[in-house]
Chains A and B, each alone.
Chain A
């Protein structure tokens, strides 16, 4: 994988000056390369990874398995377009396996999510069935360890 992309996906706050030192490439070249990645859509955006559990009233997250009947000539894409149009749907993936779509849905309460699923998702014509799984605890996301607060702590002893 491209080292520049790897570094940016681990920390998008690296300056091009720092990246230039780390990768031993001229700063201008990296500026150009990043602009190119952005315009090509390889880099879709820069977001903070928030530990929402630590934020008050941050709501709940659920993973919904969705089974559908693919529409004639259009396959799954049109159904996906309908599902992803809801603001409640944070991410959506087409899956291989027992079900077709995995949708990550956020809501204020479990009740909220349940209502959304039963009233909005299940009622889409091609949707055959849904199965809702609420997330209880986050251990790792985007390569970052959420498990223990001191997981980042350096446990090495000071020896020379």
Chain B
């Protein structure tokens, strides 16, 4: 008998599994569940993009790509990024195509962290940063962001967590799960702290295109002095509804990207070839797809936020991604109690806020990546549930 407990790396064993798994297992087993819990677009990849994937498959273009990704794709990424966000990158030395934004996050952290270096992680946020920092022998430092600041990271909060070991700041905005965005002035204040304490920044801007209202997304690398300190990570999943194609990219200073490319080359070889061809088409001819999807999300966003406010739940207005994060503290329940109760009583699945960090306790994450009709039905059921538990 092999004792696998002894075989497995102690580091990986120490990593806590995502707490949300148990909840998803329950939701998966139950029939006729209306879910508001999925974190990916409900749209299908635009047809012209799928067609390009099909065309290249038919032509037999099924080999590896260069490690960094096809030159044509890297050129299009740089052209797109400059067009949309106003920062120039060199496609040959400052760009890497990865397997989703997730791979880029992993290798970026591994390339920047020495044992004991502190990784500053604002929460609530996506679940991957903490375990990936631990696997890189870094020390995660969790920064609670607050509802009263619209879940933005403030310079004061950041400053209060700085130690001589602070090395890397994660900037996960627009934010999953809160929908918070950082405006230019917020980022400028953060940049001062970054400069003062000589930090590096991983700016996870995967939801950048999904920013609503009059102000558009500001990339952290466009803030004065930040280009050389920042690795911007983004991808095709959210903006072009291409989650299953698994394609992301990193943009940043050449010496960092060189090392990231080395790891990527050894661990991954190259990102999926078909996906890369499709992505070139998306970048060349997909700006209007983004606008259309964004318009749909924005209508849904207003319906969901308006409905929660009408129900009497505190819900700050999210300006990014496709989530809202209403506060359920007024019910006297914990996030998990609320979510379990809601799924059992009304068969509606939403995600407990504490899945995204302890400071998410008292909140629920509601995805509005669903049709208006679906959202309307789910919101009615949530309202019924709230009325029933009030009694």
Residues of A within 8 A of B (CB): 7, 10-11, 14, 18, 20-24, 154, 156, 158-160
> Chain B contacts of A11 at CB under 8 A?
372-373
What's the tally of chain B residues with a CB closer than 8 Å to chain A?
26
Q: Is the CB of A22 within 8 A of B299?
A: yes
Decide if B18 is an interface residue (CB 8 Å cutoff).
yes
CB distance from A139 to the nearest CB of B (A): 17
CB closest chain-A residue, reference B306: A21
The docked-state distance in angstroms from the alpha carbon of A23 to that of B298 is: 9
CB closest chain-A residue, reference B18: A160
Decide if B302 is an interface residue (CB 8 Å cutoff).
yes
CB distance from A65 to the nearest CB of B (A): 31
> Chain B contacts of A22 at CB under 8 A?
299-300, 302-303, 372
The 8 Å CB contact of A23, one of B37, B38, B299, is: B299
CB distance from B242 to the nearest CB of A (A): 13
CB closest chain-A residue, reference B34: A154
12 residue pairs bridging A and B, Cβ less than 8 Å apart: A7-B372, A21-B303, A21-B305, A22-B302, A154-B35, A156-B40, A156-B42, A158-B24, A158-B28, A159-B38, A160-B24, A160-B355
Q: Is the CB of B20 within 8 A of A160?
A: yes
Q: Is the CB of B42 within 8 A of A159?
A: no
CB closest chain-B residue, reference A17: B310
Decide if B307 is an interface residue (CB 8 Å cutoff).
yes
The 8 Å CB contact of B38, one of A18, A20, A158, is: A158
Q: Is the CB of A158 within 8 A of B35?
A: yes
Decide if B27 is an interface residue (CB 8 Å cutoff).
yes
User: Known: A11-B373, A160-B18, A160-B127. Contact between A24 and B39, CB under 8 A?
Assistant: no
Q: Is the CB of B303 within 8 A of A18?
A: yes
CB closest chain-A residue, reference B307: A21
The docked-state distance in angstroms from the alpha carbon of A46 to that of B202 is: 52
CB distance from B95 to the nearest CB of A (A): 27
Residues of B within 8 A of A (CB): 18, 20, 24, 27-28, 35, 37-40, 42, 126-127, 299-300, 302-303, 305-307, 351, 355, 370, 372-373, 376
CB distance from B374 to the nearest CB of A (A): 8
The docked-state distance in angstroms from the alpha carbon of A7 to that of B299 is: 11
CB closest chain-B residue, reference A24: B302
> Chain B contacts of A14 at CB under 8 A?
372, 376
> Chain A contacts of B355 at CB under 8 A?
160
The docked-state distance in angstroms from the alpha carbon of A23 to that of B351 is: 27
CB closest chain-B residue, reference A3: B299
> Chain B contacts of A160 at CB under 8 A?
18, 20, 24, 39, 126-127, 351, 355
5 interchain residue pairs of minimum CB distance:
A21-B306, A158-B24, A22-B299, A21-B303, A22-B303
Q: Is the CB of B39 within 8 A of A159?
A: yes
> Chain A contacts of B39 at CB under 8 A?
159-160
CB distance from A148 to the nearest CB of B (A): 15
CB closest chain-A residue, reference B20: A160
The docked-state distance in angstroms from the alpha carbon of A22 to that of B299 is: 5
The 8 Å CB contact of B27, one of A7, A18, A21, A158, is: A158
The docked-state distance in angstroms from the alpha carbon of A134 to that of B9 is: 68
Sample of 11 further A-B pairs with CB below 8 A, known A11-B373, A160-B18: A11-B372, A14-B372, A21-B303, A22-B300, A23-B299, A158-B27, A158-B35, A158-B37, A159-B39, A160-B39, A160-B127
> Chain B contacts of A23 at CB under 8 A?
299, 302
CB closest chain-B residue, reference A160: B20
The docked-state distance in angstroms from the alpha carbon of A21 to that of B372 is: 11
> Chain A contacts of B372 at CB under 8 A?
7, 10-11, 14, 22
The docked-state distance in angstroms from the alpha carbon of A159 to that of B372 is: 22
CB closest chain-B residue, reference A158: B24
The docked-state distance in angstroms from the alpha carbon of A156 to that of B38 is: 8
> Chain B contacts of A24 at CB under 8 A?
302
> Chain A contacts of B126 at CB under 8 A?
160
